[in-house]
């Protein structure tokens, strides 16, 4: 027998479950606002852990070594290096830039 029950994650979240199912293992798909570790907020399914959500917020990053600024996706800010030609030449970071480009390719972002 099936019935609509409140879920353990939130009494307002409901799902159709077997009468013997307490809903503990049910992955609630209700969209709720979640705060990510970076501080940005996103609407995601209730069952998702904020630690497992990639932040796609576009942020303006300032590079401390050169002072240049660039918009990057929040989750990439720790792996990005300045892309200005002068900075690439001066610092000899061609290997790091290739790594950054590979990261962008992996996540489906192409310049």
Instruction: For 40-72, write each residue's pLDDT tens digit.
Output: 999 999 999 999 999 999 999 888 878 888 888
Select, from the ranges 7-21, 65-79, 96-110, the one with the highest average predicted confidence (pLDDT).
7-21
Question: Same domain, yes or no, for 45 and 71?
Answer: no
Question: Same domain, yes or no, for 40 and 70?
Answer: no
Q: How far apart are CA 86 and CA 79, in angstroms?
A: 19
Question: Same domain, yes or no, for 92 and 65?
Answer: yes
pTM recorded for the entire structure? 0.63
Segment 71-83, tens digit of pLDDT: 888 988 776 777 7
Number of domain units in the chain = 2
Would 46 be classed as within a structural domain? yes
Would 31 be classed as within a structural domain? yes
Cα-Cα-Cα-Cα dihedral sign, residues 88, 94, 95, 101: positive
Cα-Cα-Cα-Cα dihedral sign, residues 44, 31, 58, 39: negative
The per-residue DSSP string of 39-82 comes to: S-EEEEETTS-GGGPPP--EEEEE-TTT--EEEEEGGGTTT---
- Domain range enclosing 99: 58-106
Would 111 be classed as within a structural domain? no
Question: Same domain, yes or no, for 63 and 83?
Answer: yes
Question: Same domain, yes or no, for 39 and 81?
Answer: no
> Of 29, 52, 75, which residue constitutes the final position of a domain?
52
Q: How far is CA 67 from the centre of its chain?
A: 26
């Amino acid at each position: 027998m099936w019935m609509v029950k409140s879920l353990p994650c939130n009494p307002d979240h409901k799902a159709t479950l077997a009468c013997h199912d307490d809903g503990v293992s049910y992955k609630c798909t209700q969209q709720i606002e979640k705060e990510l570790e970076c501080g940005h907020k996103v609407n995601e399914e209730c069952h998702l852990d904020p630690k497992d959500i990639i932040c796609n917020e576009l942020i303006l990053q300032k590079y401390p070594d050169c002072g240049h600024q660039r918009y990057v996706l929040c989750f990439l800010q720790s792996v990005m290096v300045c892309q200005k030609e002068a900075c690439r030449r001066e610092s000899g970071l061609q290997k790091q830039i290739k790594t950054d480009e590979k990261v962008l390719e992996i996540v489906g972002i192409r310049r």
